[in-house]
Amino acid sequence: MHKIHLLAASLLLLFSCQNTPGKKDNAAPAPAVKGTFAYDLDFLKKNTETLVLKAPDAEDAQIAVVPAYQARVMTSTAGGGTGNSYGWINYARIGGEKGYQAHINAWGGEDRFWIAPEGGQYSVFFKKGTAFDYEHWQTPGLIDTARFEMVDGDASHAVFNKKASLENYSGARFDLDITRKITVLSKNDIISALHIKDLNGIKCVGFESSNIVINTGADWKKDQGTIAIWNLGMFNPTDKTTVIAPFTKARSPRLLLTDDYFGKVPAGRMAVSDSTVFFSGDGKLRSKIGIAPASAKPVAGSFDPEKGILTIIQFDLDPAGDYLKSTWKHHDDPYHGDAFNSYNDGPVADGTQLGPFYELESTSPAPALKSGGKLMHRHRTFHFEGDRAALDQLAKTVLGVGLAQITSALQ
C-alpha cells in the first residue's frame, strides 16, 4: 500500500508539472480569465491536489481530475489554458473554510462516479426505516467525501481504486472493489466512437471514464436490492442552453419518459418531437427528465448557442437490462427505472440554490452479481466548438437534429 501511495504522489506531481496550460519558462503567467480552463485549473490547484491529462495528439485538449473527489473529472477544455472551461465547479464549496456539509458536498465536476439507487426500498442514500425526505437524505461518504487512490497512469490516462462497503435501505450489505479509469481520447478515437467522417473546422476534447465494480462480499439478491453505477456530469448553464435526448420507437412504440421527478416539467421547458426530447438547461428551475432503456439511445447532448458549444455524452446501454428507480418513494417495480437522465438545477423552497448548473447522466443496469462478479459502465463526454456548419452536421449525424431545430425547440 505504501508503494501505491508513492506511485500516486509521483505521478500526480509529474503530470501537474508537465501539463500546466500556458506555462512558459522564465515568463510570468498572465492573469487567467474567469471561464477559462487556466482559471479553473489554478483555482483547483490552490485548494486540492489536481491532475491534468492531455489528449495524445492534441496539446490543447485537456482535462482536470481531482482524486480527493472520487477521481472526478472536474472540467475540460478544447482550447488549452485560454479555452472555455466546460465543467461546473462549486467555487464557494471548494474554496470555503467550512468543513464537510450535511447531506452532500457538491464539489461539481463533469464526470463523477455515483451509485444508484438514490430513493426507494433499495436506496443507499436513506437509512432503514427513515422517511424519504430531505432531512433524512444523505449522500454516502464513498461518493461524496472519500478519496480514490491513483494506482496507474501516464500523460493521457489515469487509473484509480477504492474499496468500500455500503448498506441499503432494506439492510443489504455491499462489499465493493471499485476501479475507475479515465482516458483522454485522440481525434481518431472521437471520430471512431461517434461514427463521424472527420472533425474539419472543429476543435474538440473527449474523454472516457470506465468504471468497474467487483462484488467482494456475498451474492446480491434482487429481493434485497442491488446497485448500479451512475455517472453524472455537471455543466455551466445559459438562458438558451438546450438538452437533446434522442429516443427510439424500435423497442417500444410509446416513449417511456419520466418528466415529474420534482413535479411535472412546465410547458415551454420541455418539448417532444418524433425522435427527440428537448429540455431546458438554463439552471433556473429544479426539474428532471428520464428515459427508460427500451426508449433511450446510448447518446445525448446539449447545445449552448451563446458560446457555440456542442456537448455530447455517449454511454453503455442494455435495452433489456434491469435499471433501478431512484425517486424518493417505495416502488412496486423498482427495476423499471431510467437509463438516461437530465437534471436542471433551480431554487428550492427556501429560495436557496446549489448551482446553477445542469446535468447529463447515465446509469448502468443493476444485475444480481454473484460473489466475485463484475459490473462495468463506460461514459464518454465530448465538447465541440468551431465552424457553425460543421457543428450542425455533427449534431445531425450523432443526435439526429440540427442546430436550428435545437435552438427553436423551446421557443
Could you read off the pLDDT of 65-106 as tens digits, one per residue?
Answer: 999 999 999 999 999 999 999 999 999 999 986 778 889 999
Instruction: Sort strands 299-304 and 270-272 into parallel, antiparallel or unpaired.
Output: unpaired
DSSP 73: E
The total of structural domains in the chain comes to: 1
Please report, to the nearest 10 degrees, the dihedral formed by the alpha carbons of residues 363, 392, 388, 196 taken in order.
70
pLDDT number for residue 254: 97
pLDDT number for residue 112: 98
The Cα–Cα gap between 233 and 56 comes to 23
- Within 339-388, strands assigned E span 340-344, 358-363, 374-386
Cis peptide before 293 (omega within 30 of 0): no
pLDDT number for residue 18: 47
Sheet holding 51-55, edge to edge: 51-55, 58-66, 72-77
pLDDT number for residue 6: 45
The Cα–Cα gap between 240 and 411 comes to 9
pLDDT number for residue 29: 65
Sheet holding 358-363, edge to edge: 112-116, 228-235, 358-363, 340-344, 287-291, 257-258
Q: DSSP secondary structure string, 110-139?
A: SBEEEEE-SSSTT-SSS-TT--SSTTT---
Which residues share a beta bridge with 245?
A: 277
Which cell is 210 given? Answer: 470506465
| Domain coverage including residue 155 | 2-408
Cβ-based burial of 398 (10 A; exposed 0-12, middle 13-18, buried ≥19): buried
Closest listed residue to residue 118, CA positions, set 25, 28, 11, 227: 227
- How wide is the angle at C-alpha 114 spanned by C-alphas 9 and 360, nearest 5°? 110
Cis peptide before 319 (omega within 30 of 0): no
Which cell is 313 given? Answer: 455524452
pLDDT number for residue 67: 98
The Cα–Cα gap between 114 and 42 comes to 26
The Cα–Cα gap between 53 and 224 comes to 40
User: Which H/E stretch holds residue 407?
Assistant: helix 403-408
Q: What is the CATH number of the domain that holds 294?
A: 2.70.98.10
**What stretches in the chain show pLDDT beneath 70?**
1-29, 97
pLDDT number for residue 26: 56
Residue 80 in 3-state DSSP? helix
pLDDT number for residue 15: 53
The Cα–Cα gap between 319 and 333 comes to 17
- Provide the whole-model pTM: 0.93
DSSP 247: B
The Cα–Cα gap between 144 and 115 comes to 11
Task: Provide φ and ψ at 242, rounded to 5°.
Answer: -125, 130
Which residues share a beta bridge with 209?
A: 182, 379
Cis peptide before 253 (omega within 30 of 0): no
